[in-house]
Amino acid sequence: MVLDEDVREFLIESNENLANLDRQLVELEERPDDATLLADVFRTVHTIKGTSGFFGFDKLGGITHVAENILSQLRDRQRELTPQMASLILESVDAVKAILTNIEATGQEGDNAYPDLRQRLEAAYRGETPALAQKSPGVAAAVVAAVAAAEPEVPAAAAEPALKPVEALPAEAKAKGEESMPSSSTLTDSTIRVDVHLLDKLMNLVGELVLARNQLIQDTSTESSHQSGASQRLNLITTELQEGVMKMRMQPIGVVWNKLPRVVRDLASGFGKKIQMEMEGAETELDKTIIEAIKDPLTHIVRNSCDHGIEVPDVRLRRGKNATGRILLRAFHEGGHVNIEISDDGGGIDAEKVKAKARDKGLLRPEQIAEMSARDATQLIFLPGFSTAEKVRPASAALEGGHSL
């Protein structure tokens, strides 16, 4: 009854929903009374549970079942969401992701049934103090280590499906789909999935077409002074085609941003800091290649803000700031470019420290450093090899918009 195709659909839609789940759970901690948000979170877990039964994915079904039970208690207002419970649910989400990765790679769920996690989930469901292991970091680490040693490690293969959704024109596509109903099963979905490689190929072909058109226009214009109607139309259609293909590759920057609140949450609790993340312009669209390219640098900058920028609550209060630090992500169009800004209300960059580091690393001569302004010194962090970690990029780096590509 079940086809490979169904499993593939299940993996794609589950991965899509899970990508949102991390963000939604973090938001839920901030707004525990948001019924719509809670309903979304519940539905995602519920859908995975419901569908996994068809494929005999029992481990997946087991974990999502207990997680769903807890979520339904929250939904029915039988209990409040505590940070421990949120951590437990996030942990379940990670387990679900790991199992889905296994299924994608091997078709099987893998050997790890997460007995420890399930036990803690069930204890939490029964109302016992949830996540005993999480109360003290020492014990948590020991349990995690024990679990890691006892059970085979999950391969960290790319969990991202090869297919990405492409937004079609919803209204038109829908109308057409419903009118021209063939006799067999018909989909009225307003979006379709297209293999990225297919888009890349289309993009290359359009590139070739543009070259050919330019050649043709050059040839015809030397032969006769006026362009024929046909070549004018060819010119116009080619331009529109090129723009259309470009548009197909656009994705909202929110796709990348969605992953960050979870990163920030985990880092903040690790450092004993309180950090709130805000986003503006998540719907701003960028070409897919750019989205891919900025993913890692963006995460790095945000991590950097959590790590070095935002101070611990004590220090912040002493400096007269709110105990909760703030990281703001902004994306906006300006003069044909897309600007992405990442700012935090932390301590800023200590110019003297930067100078000292530059001197130690021998990046500049001492006399150069001595006469350097604080502003110039700050720029030193962008020198390759300055940080021992990866390359750092300017926080307000202006990235080329899809148009100019």
Partner 1 sequence: MKMALVADDSRAIRGILSRILVRAGFDVVQVENGRAGITLMQQDARTFSLVCADWNMPEMNGLEFVKALRSDTRFQNTPVMMITSETHIDRMETALRYGVSEYVTKPFTEAVILEKLQILHVAD
Binding site for partner 1 (CB under 8 A): 1-3, 5-7, 9-10, 12-13, 40, 42-43, 46-47, 49-51, 53-54, 178, 181, 183-189
In the bound state with partner 1, the residue whose beta carbon lies nearer, of 47 and 220, is: 47
In the bound state with partner 1, the residue whose beta carbon lies nearer, of 51 and 258, is: 51
Q: How far is the CB of 182 from partner 1 (least distance, A)?
A: 9
Q: How far is the CB of 98 from partner 1 (least distance, A)?
A: 20
Q: How far is the CB of 267 from partner 1 (least distance, A)?
A: 31
Please tell me whether residue 157 adopts helix, strand or coil conformation.
Answer: coil
> In 10 A of CB 49, how many CB atoms?
21
Could you tell me the two tokens for 205?
């072909």
In the bound state with partner 1, the residue whose beta carbon lies nearer, of 182 and 320, is: 182
Q: What is the DSSP annotation of 12-47?
A: HHHHHHHHHHHHHHHHHHH-TT-HHHHHHHHHHHHH
CA distance 360 to 376: 17
Could you tell me the two tokens for 264?
């920030």
Q: How far is the CB of 53 from partner 1 (least distance, A)?
A: 4
CA distance 265 to 21: 14
In the bound state with partner 1, the residue whose beta carbon lies nearer, of 6 and 240, is: 6
CA distances from 171 to 177, 244, 265 (A): 10, 17, 38
In the bound state with partner 1, the residue whose beta carbon lies nearer, of 16 and 266, is: 16
Q: Are 100 and 159 in contact (CB under 8 A)?
A: yes
> In 10 A of CB 140, how many CB atoms?
15
Q: How far is the CB of 25 from partner 1 (least distance, A)?
A: 17
Q: Which residues contact 348 (CB under 8 A, 6 or more apart)?
A: 309
In the bound state with partner 1, the residue whose beta carbon lies nearer, of 174 and 308, is: 174
> Up-side HSE of residue 48: CA atoms within 13 Å toward CB?
32
CA distance 249 to 242: 11
Q: How far is the CB of 280 from partner 1 (least distance, A)?
A: 24
